[in-house]
Amino acid sequence: MIAQPNRLRRNALASVAVASLVATGAAGFGLTQPSTPAYAQSLSKNPIETPDHPPGSFASVVDKVKPGVVAVKVKLDDSATSDDDDGPGQGQGQQVPPQLREFFKRFGQGGPGQGQGFGAPKRQGQRGAMGSGFIISADGYVVTNNHVVDKAKSVQVTLDDNRTLDAKVIGKDPKTDLALLKITEGGTFPYVSLSKSAPRVGDWVVAIGNPFGLGGTVTAGIVSARGRDIGAGPYDDFLQIDAPINKGNSGGPTFNVGGEVVGVNTAIASPSGGSVGLAFAIPAETVQAVVDQLRADGKVARGYLGVQVQPVTKDIADGLGLDKAKGALVDHAEAGTPAAKAGLKSGDVIETVNGTPINDARELSRKIAGIKPGAKVELTYLRGGKSDTATVELGVLPNDTRVANNDRGSSANGQPRLGLSLAPASEVGAGSEGVAVMEVDPDGPAAAKGIEQGDIILDVAGSSVSQPSEVAERIRSAETSGRKAVLMRVKSQKGVTRFVAVALNKAG
């Protein structure tokens, strides 16, 4: 097994004999025996009440939900070549999303004495993967991870009663790493329900799955944190749990003590490849929204606003005269997009969407993406220190576009002197607008903020500039008005615009 210290490792169930297990999240499925074909409806009449202290036993919960957890076995298609088995530490036929290839390289599985693990000979036609999943309806719909069934030639699920049944892939969503399957055999099946409420940090959770091929394994722990961004995708919003999760748990459920699914297990952080109590699950709220679309259309369509945004840092908040560093700062509203049609402009700070506060740029991305195209949303935003509202009809997120979250700039103390040599852009062949950066003092505050030779300063403190004297005037005005920082909009030589806040602390 190859594993690097302190690296997040996705449970690459799609590679070796590791079957279904747990998940964790923020919505739940209460398991029930089949007697009603209603989709995602719990049959439990008397859910277990959540205790405020450790329960004496989780047995009642396990008895109720365990029949709804399945192992997922996949045969990979011929396109799953060595490109998917990327280097040492990769499992046989392991499916690796491009953005996680480096992540997977460091997620070893198996080893001496552990059977067919990493480094095992590859046999044409026998490449496969295993993971976990859970049934969400009496007619046999199953939720699992996208990376478990990606490039699947065929899929089977093994039920708690040891029956192995064929299943087909209904739809996949790589951006959230979720997939929906359907058992092809007729009949009714035990199923579980997604929780309609998010768990609290500290709540007890129970994970059930198939780590290392050991089916029906039950582990327990608590919700350690919520809203984790682990860099796995554009809409990261993971639950963190400390219930032991290992390779083979991908796509499986984590339950609250009421028997509802609160999340789908997806990744772990580990120095060894095994559980160290840091596991991450897709919240049930996200799962419900994605599964509903996959079941109806076989794909997910996301809302599109058409803005590039960045976080409001403390320096940027100071530059804008804001009391708090919250919201999403609009870098640019693309022409012809819903945002531009609604009148949003560069420099606006989006504060709420349909009355829900937006804390940062990633939250705006998740919120907009979670709303169906064509829906009308109401945004509140700040412009020039004044609050305003706009009603926007969302478009469809293009395949190659997303609401950007650009973490640009850094917090560094600066001085009124920027450390720049400037010239009108029009006089040095750098375009018709703005002021060109001719030289940068490597020790100056502007350099510390990433401003480079060849950049174009488009506006300072919310006003456009075309002369170096105007830059100096805006800085003096900001300082006189008591601003702690001055906000500049800068365009790079590649044409990318960003906001840069330079602190106005005077030298001692």
Parallel, antiparallel or unpaired: strands 404-405 and 307-311: parallel
CA dist 155 and 133 (Å) reads 12
Q: Is 365 a catalytic residue?
A: no
Catalytic hit among 15, 195, 250, 466: 250
Buried b (16+ CB within 10 A) or exposed e, 476-488: eebeeeebbbbbb
Q: Is 177 a catalytic residue?
A: yes
Among residues 212, 215, 18, 16, the alpha carbon closest in space to that of 127 is found at: 16
- Cβ pair 97, 84 in contact under 8 A: no
Catalytic hit among 15, 147, 459, 466: 147
CA dist 70 and 295 (Å) reads 19
- Cβ pair 27, 187 in contact under 8 A: no
Neighbour tally for 126: CB within 10 Å:
12
Q: Is 314 helix (H, G, I), strand (E, B) or coil?
A: helix
DSSP 192: -
> Residue 459 phi/psi, 5° resolution?
-150, 160
CA dist 255 and 235 (Å) reads 22
Catalytic hit among 85, 177, 348, 459: 177
Q: Is 455 a catalytic residue?
A: no
Position 168, amino acid: K
Residue 129 in tokens = 């993967």
Q: Is 346 helix (H, G, I), strand (E, B) or coil?
A: coil
> Residue 91 phi/psi, 5° resolution?
-85, 165
Residue 222 in tokens = 């608590």
Active site residues per annotation: 147, 177, 250
